[in-house]
Amino acid sequence: MTIYTFNADSKKTDWFTLDDVVMGGQSVGSFTIHPEGYGVFKGKVSLENNGGFSSVRHQFSTKNTTNFSYFRIVLRGDGKPYQFRVKSDKNNQYSYAATFNTQTKWETIDIPYASLLPVFRGRKLNMPHFNGVALSEIGFLIGNKKAQEFQLEIKSIQLIN
């Protein structure tokens, strides 16, 4: 099942950024569609005023995801680690997250449901891992406890059996 595939006609408004400014921080992230047809999430993470993260998210009508077991993402990074985040219900305050490392070339990464841990504000919650029953939001977050510039390019996100 395809969750999102970018192309030159993709709408940047399908995605929104959420940075630590909601808590007083000064990080700045942006999201654009490259003319060659992939999403570009880039910016600068700042540790000022207890900041330290930037994220980009995509919300959609809830999908039944019980027939799948992992996410397959085609992306190109900058050598930094990122989190892939999902929500069963976009109204939940918590997310399920898995950290992955990136390379500076296009790559395909697989993220099993079982590796998605429940988190809220950077803390692991004492709850079960993502159960894969429903999905209403996906996103990417950078927050490596250091001030840094970043750029993550995304071609597609799919669910695989």
Taking alpha carbons only, the member of 129, 131, 34, 29 closest to residue 82 is 29
Report the residue count for the chain. 161
pTM more than 0.85: yes
Q: Extract the tokens encoding 55.
A: 């994220």
- Number of independent structural domains in the chain: 1
Confidence at residue 22, expressed as pLDDT on a 0 to 100 scale: 84
- Domain housing 88: 2-160
Q: How many helices and strands, by DSSP H and E, does the chain display?
A: 0, 13
Q: Which residue(s) pair with 20 in the sheet?
A: none
Consecutive 10-residue averages of pLDDT for the chain (161 residues): 97 97 94 98 96 97 97 98 98 97 98 98 95 97 97 98 95
Instruction: Kindly report the CATH number assigned to the domain that includes residue 154.
Output: 2.60.120.430
Confidence at residue 23, expressed as pLDDT on a 0 to 100 scale: 87
Report residue 37: phi and psi, to 5°.
95, 45
